[in-house]
Amino acid sequence: MRFLKKISWVILFLVVFLFMSFSVVFSQERVVSPLVEELEKMERILYGVPQSGGVLTRIEQIERDLIGDTLSGTLAERVDTLKRFILTGTPEEPSLEFKIKAVRLTLNAKPSESGILTAELDELERLVFGVTSDQPIGVRVDHLYRTCVDINKIKAFTVTVPAGTLVKISIDTELHSERNNKGDAVPFTVVEDVKVEDILVIPAGTKGVGTITKLKRRGSFGKPGLLEIDFGEVPAIDGTMVQLTMGEKAIQENKSVAYAVGASIAGLAIFGPIGAVAGIFVQGEPAKVEAGTELFVEVAKEVKVSGPLAAGEYVPGGAQEFVPTAEEAPWGEQTPSYTDTEQAPSSLDTQEVPQVEVEIRPLEEWGEEVSK
C-alpha cells in the first residue's frame, strides 16, 4: 500500500509539473495581428524597437511624434495612413523610410547607434544646419530630404556590389547533354531584384546569356552526361556589366536543386545527374536542365553600380510635388501649421522652410521665408 501511495504521489507530481510546463509554454506564445505587425514595423524605424502598451496609445504616440497631432478614423484606417507615410509612400510622395535612407546615402551617414530616429535627426541637423529642430519628425525628415537630396539625381546612388552577392536566375530554355552542343547559348533571366544597401543594382527581369563550354554525352558503364556552362555577365541597372560565377555561396544555396551542381573554374557551373549507377550494361543518365529551372549564381568580383533607392513600394519619378486638398487631409482642421517663427531653429531663419499642409505626408509648399 505504501508503495502504491508513493507511486500515486509521483504520478500526481509529474502531472502537475507537466501541466505547469505546458501552461508556461502556451502563455509565452505570442499571437500578433496584422495591424500590430505593421505597428511594430513603424516603431522599429522610429524608436529602434517595438513599444509596449495598448494599441491606441502606441498609435497616438506615433501620430504626435510624426505630425504633432492625432488622426481621426478607425484604428485600421489610422494604421494604414501611417503605413503609407512611413513605409510605402505613394507615387506622388516617397515614404519617410525612403527619405531618411536617401539622406543617409547622400551624407554617407549611418543610423544612430541607439536606433532612435530623433537621435539620428539631431546628428544630421547639426551636421547640415548647425542646430537641431523641435518640430515633428515628419517635418524634420522632409526638410533634410529636400535640403540634401537632389531629387532629379535620386536614381544615381553609387554602391559597391561585393563579390559573392547572390543572384537568382531562371534558365529560359531546356538544356540536354544528348541534344545540345558545345557553344550553344544558354539564355537566362534574373528572377529577383538584387539590392545592395537598399539600392537596386540588378532588377528582376534582366536578361543574360551563358554558353555551353563543355559537353559530354552519356555513355556505357553508367557514365553520365555532363553540361558545363559559363554564365558570363549581366547588365546592371546603369549598364555596368556584372560578371557571374558559380562560387561556394551559390553552391550552398543550390543544394535543394535536383541537379548535381558544382564549380570548376570561375564563371562555370557543371550540371550532371544525381545518383548515376555504374555498371557494364548500364547506360548513363543524360545531364539535363528543364526550362524554368531556378538556381543561384553569384557576383564574381566587386563592382560599382549606380541605381535608385528601392525602399518600400515607392519608385522615384522626378521632382513632382503633391499638395493635398482640404478633403484629402484625413484630420481636417486639426492639421498643425508649424508657421510660428518662434518654433523654427534660428539658423533656418534665412532658409526656406516648409509650410505644412499634411496628408500624413510631410509638407509640400516651400516658399515663404520665416523672417529676414
- pLDDT value at residue 86: 93
Q: Over the stretch 275-324, which tens digit does the pLDDT of each residue have?
A: 444 444 454 577 778 888 888 999 999 999 988 887 543 343 333 333 33
DSSP-derived secondary structure for 47-109: HSSPPPS-HHHHHHHHHHHHHSS---S-HHHHHHHHHIIIII--SSS--HHHHHHHHHHHHT-
pLDDT tens string 206-221 = 999 999 888 888 765 5
**Residue 328 DSSP symbol:** T
The confidence score (pLDDT) of residue 271 equals 67
Mean pLDDT across 180-191: 91
- If you compute the radius of gyration of the chain from its CA atoms, what whole number of angstroms results? 29
93-120: pLDDT as tens digits: 888 988 898 898 888 888 888 889 999 9
**Grid-cell match 547559348, residue found:** 185
What CA–CA distance (Å, rounded) separates 121 from 102? 13
Whether the predicted pLDDT of 172 surpasses 80: yes
Residue 28 has pLDDT above 50, yes or no: no
* pLDDT value of residue 335: 35
Highest-scoring range by mean pLDDT, 91-95, 132-136, 259-263 = 132-136
Q: What is the pTM of this model?
A: 0.57
What's the mean pLDDT in 349-354?
38
CB 212 within 8 A of CB 237: no
Q: Is the pLDDT of residue 52 over 70?
A: yes
> In angstroms, rounded to a whole number, what is the distance separating the alpha carbons of residues 264 and 305?
27
Class of 160-307 in CATH = mainly beta
Cβ neighbours of residue 330 closer than 8 Å, sequence gap 6 or more:
71, 72, 73, 77, 81, 359, 360
Residue ranges per domain, the chain?
A: 32-155+311-372, 160-307
pLDDT at 361: 32
